[in-house]
Amino acid sequence: MTVTTPLVNGTSYCLIKAYSQDSYKQAIEFYSKFLALDDCSTDNTTQTTTLSNGSISLKIKLEEDKTLQSKTESQIQFLKSIKDTKDWRSHVAESLVFNTSNIMLNKDTLTTLNAPTQSFPSDLFPMQLYTIDPLGNIIGVTSTKNAVSTMPTEPPSTKKAKFSTSTLPSKVHSFTDLSYRMQTTNNYPSLPGKQIIDPTKPKKAIAVMTSGGDAQGMNSNVRAIVRSAIFKGCRAFVVMEGYEGLVRGGPEYIKECSWEDVRGWSTEGGTNIGTARCLEFRQRDGRLLGAQHLIEAGVDALIVCGGDGSLTGADLFRSEWPSLIKELLENGRISKDQFQKYQHLNICGTVGSIDNDMSTTDATIGAYSALDRICKAIDYVEATANSHSRAFVVEVMGRNCGWLALLAGIATSADYIFIPEKPATSSEWQDQMCDIVAKHRSKGKRTTIVIVAEGAISADLTPISPADVHKVLVDRLGLDTRITTLGHVQRGGTAVAYDRMLATLQGVEAVNAVLESTADTPSPLIAINENKIVRKPLVESVRLTKSVAEAIQAKDFKKAMDLRDTEFVEHLKNFMAINSADHNEPKLPNDKRLKIAIVNVGAPAGGINSAVYSMATYCMSQGHKPYAINNGWSGLARHESVRSLEWKDMIGWQSRGGSEIGTNRVTPEQADIGMIAYYFQKYQFDGLVIVGGFEAFESLHQLERARESYPAFRIPMVLIPATLSNNVPGTEYSLGSDTALNALMEYCDVVKQSASSTRGRAFVVDVQGGNSGYLATCAALAVGAQASYVPEEGIPLEQLQQDIETLAESFESAKGRGRFGKLILKSTNASKALSATDLAKVMTSEANGRFDAKPAYPGHVQQGGLPSPIDRTRATRFAIRAVDFIEEQQETIAAARAADDDFKLDDKVVSATATVLGVRRSHIVFNPIRQLYDFETDVEARMPKVIHWQATREIADHLVGRKRVD
């Protein structure tokens, strides 16, 4: 292998030799696919092929030699044999490494080619990726600055921040990463109408409609679709009143939309374009009218946001389209030109439903907002229940899906739930409920909450109503019982942050989908799976959804449960486990029961109490003894603050904010690690759960390193990340970040309302988050902020000047219209020179009277009050997984402890027992603290080296028309 003219991160030209015809052909195919190179020229005379992409050129030359080919084959077999045990780079004289902008795309290609790989630092989250080519060479791609660096490459346009080592976003597509679908460029306009569009190409017209029941977040979905369509050079339409609007037609019902028409919609509940169920559209004549009206309006693509019924109608409409337009032509209702122009109708679906009952997607638009309403209502009801020692029967929506009832049951520590997927016989549910409620009451609980899904049934399909449950509680237990039917309150109010973001990202992807669809493309459904936005076949998704209801009607409840996603099943098991607590016989035998401690480290975050409650109650159901280390490491070192956790003392913790067992930022080394080891030995802990942020991350690192000196730390230890900054390496989600995001979003909504009331007013909102811009970035997407400044980028003066000009242009174009308050979000650490007050003064001064800016400081309001349902339910899931991990690692750690004097600190199996529980691509994973700390952490900046959420900024900027400056 000959290499010439080296570049900083690769090679501009290289020559590779093949020694057989087969390997020559295989090499051409391999490099064409792996490095995305084009076949520029093939010279059969010299038997060479040149591949290039403009930046690099690779020449493959055939020199047939059986001896050398045999050596090549032996080399390949040897390298394959050591793939899992040794680093290939240490067994070859040289390797060829290219820089890549998307290492996950290279990884997917190698999987398709069935090629062996080695990834560093981890297979799940690689920064360097190596493989063996068909000629026996080690070939690598890297997203780092060079082949031996762990520092990701910065894009040329990135302004380097003081605290940042990288601004390259993770190529593992998270649910906030859609830049791989839609690139935001540096020259797109801040206002519509200035796009440079090819006049020779006809404009595609994309219409959006909302149908069926309304759901919070539908307005965010419509806004994203309208603005993305305009940004893509298309005409954007909205269909008023759902399918009824299609049937009625005309400009009153099928309206063309401008950029400004949807301004501020993200902050509004319901659907501003209306929704209605239309009996006429169920008939062919109604669909015929709908087709005619779309053609008259010039629409050739339709995006429908609704439930399974609405999406079924949409796909039927598309399948009938050829026959509908043919009939319209024969009847003279459309012209031949129209018939030729509108041969195909592209349909795409986004799921808007509070029930979360659509198969193939983890969440539907509006579901978490409805869950938020339910949890708040139950929190309020429980206060009056506690005052009078009452029982409350709460009915929630959901049709044939028990998701709302199940997650509300977990989030509020309900005593009993009724869901259609897991019914009992009429006598069984009465006995079970009364047994559980009676045990809870006997332990001193003053309140009883029973949640009934509207589709609740007994095993013989007899409906179970709130009145039925009320009667049993009164007659058999003599409880003072009330019924609360939440009804349409569950659909009310504005969307929570998660639904705004989900609806926005799905809207962007829906536009991409219809633009990329052809006549042969099956209608797609935009879903969220594995923490990323994906497309699924609409027909198949609807079919599976309807199969659940069919299975329930057939009394095949096992099939109905199997058709739900695995997370639903896990949530149900978790609810049953924590609900039994210490009231039933423990699951594990005496010799398997452990002493497990939990400690909070760092600032308070929503969901910390939920994690403690769930960990303790799950331990009780298993037979373990849960302990709380109160007031962090300093409390333990100074005051021996170890307390056993009792069920009665924790009643209500699941829904409380703050930290009931206390927390602070002190690490073990700061507190006195020797004393901490002494108390660990005294209480003979078998496992430790740490809940907290970056200080908790450092604490786990210190304890793991101290194992050599202190045998008491040779136990399984798990960190559950909990911080509003979401800056813990090894995870894309930390407890508390959703609660904080909702609190900040609500604050911004109020401030934006104030700004809208005063013409020409913008607010600069100071956002917490340390050196992480996660909170500012996601809030900017959720509230439609005009710009956000984060520590990873700083505040370049050129960008600030451009943002001021953009704001001025935007205010000038408003001409007194409503909903025109502007927000600028600034992370506190985005600039040490400019505070929010200083930034507001600069903007006001530079605006020269065109607008003025005021500072706003939400402060510790951002920590939130009551934790959000997402943080509560995820805390439960994480805590139970952490306890399961500690149980599973007992044999491994016992063997290591038995060695004592020969304890191997660097043994990978042993070091893996000190781990960070994280979420990556929606999977819960356990990453050893040693690997994360040494390879994936910028300790000085208190940040991960790779920022998984940063591409979200491009989408947020795109939807407000922000111009970016290089």
Please spell the DSSP secondary structure of 308-369, one letter per residue: HHHHHHHHHHHHHHHHHHHHHHHTTSS-HHHHHHTS--EEEEEEB-TT---TT-S--BTHHH
| 829 close to 791: Cβ distance less than 8 angstroms | yes
Which of 214, 355, 499, 766 is catalytic? The answer is 355
874 in a known ligand binding site = no
Per-residue b or e along 844-864, where b marks 16 or more CB atoms closer than 10 Å to that residue's CB: bebbeeebebbbbebeeebbb
CA 657 from centroid of its chain's CA atoms: 23
964 in a known ligand binding site = no
For the record, the structure tokens of 498 come out as: 């998660």
Q: Can you name the residues that pair with 626 across neighbouring β-strands?
A: 596
493 in a known ligand binding site = no
As a whole number of angstroms, the distance between CA 740 and CA 727 comes to 14
475 in a known ligand binding site = no
- Quick one: which H or E segment has residue 918? strand 914-920
621 in a known ligand binding site = no
Catalytic-residue membership of 565: no
Q: Is the peptide bond before 134 cis (omega within 30 degrees of 0)?
A: no
Backbone angles phi, psi at 880, to 5 degrees: -70, -40
For the record, the structure tokens of 819 come out as: 């909903």
330 in a known ligand binding site = no
725 in a known ligand binding site = yes
942 in a known ligand binding site = yes
934 in a known ligand binding site = no
354 in a known ligand binding site = yes
491 in a known ligand binding site = yes
854 in a known ligand binding site = yes
Secondary structure of 262-285 in HEC code, one letter for each residue:
HCCHHHCCCCCCCCCCCCHHHCHH
Backbone angles phi, psi at 409, to 5 degrees: -60, -40
As a whole number of angstroms, the distance between CA 186 and CA 963 comes to 6
As a whole number of angstroms, the distance between CA 433 and CA 449 comes to 11
As a whole number of angstroms, the distance between CA 559 and CA 552 comes to 8
As a whole number of angstroms, the distance between CA 785 and CA 752 comes to 9
| Summary count for the chain: helices (H), strands (E) | 30, 33
Backbone angles phi, psi at 144, to 5 degrees: -95, 175
769 in a known ligand binding site = yes
674 in a known ligand binding site = no
850 in a known ligand binding site = no
Backbone angles phi, psi at 941, to 5 degrees: -85, -10
724 in a known ligand binding site = yes
Packing angle between helix 774-783 and helix 952-960, nearest 10 degrees? 30
292 in a known ligand binding site = no
CA 262 from centroid of its chain's CA atoms: 25
Q: Dmax over Cα atoms in the chain, in whole Å?
A: 97
**Which residue's structure tokens are 């309403």?**
373
As a whole number of angstroms, the distance between CA 122 and CA 129 comes to 10
As a whole number of angstroms, the distance between CA 149 and CA 482 comes to 64
213 in a known ligand binding site = yes
454 in a known ligand binding site = yes
Backbone angles phi, psi at 844, to 5 degrees: -60, -45
624 in a known ligand binding site = no
290 in a known ligand binding site = no
- Which residues neighbour 611 within 8 Å (Cβ) at sequence distance 6 or greater? 598, 689, 691, 720, 722, 735, 875, 876, 878, 879
Please spell the DSSP secondary structure of 365-421, one letter per residue: BTHHHHHHHHHHHHHHHHHHHHHHT-EEEEEE--TT--HHHHHHHHHTT-SEEE-TT
564 in a known ligand binding site = no
535 in a known ligand binding site = no
As a whole number of angstroms, the distance between CA 706 and CA 302 comes to 61
768 in a known ligand binding site = yes
399 in a known ligand binding site = yes
Nearest partner of 769 among 866, 874, 665, 862, judged by Cα:
862
**Which residue's structure tokens are 């896990």?**
570
As a whole number of angstroms, the distance between CA 65 and CA 274 comes to 73
114 in a known ligand binding site = no
Backbone angles phi, psi at 209, to 5 degrees: -140, 150
As a whole number of angstroms, the distance between CA 915 and CA 720 comes to 9
User: Which residues fall in the annotated binding site for ATP?
Assistant: 213, 277-278, 307-310
User: Which residues fall in the annotated binding site for substrate?
Assistant: 353-355, 390, 397-399, 454, 482, 488-491
User: Which residues fall in the annotated binding site for Mg(2+)?
Assistant: 308
User: Which residues fall in the annotated binding site?
Assistant: 213, 277-278, 307-310, 353-355, 390, 397-399, 454, 482, 488-491, 665, 723-727, 761, 768-770, 854, 860-863, 942
User: Which residues fall in the annotated binding site for beta-D-fructose 2,6-bisphosphate?
Assistant: 665, 723-727, 761, 768-770, 854, 860-863, 942
Which residues are designated catalytic?
A: 355
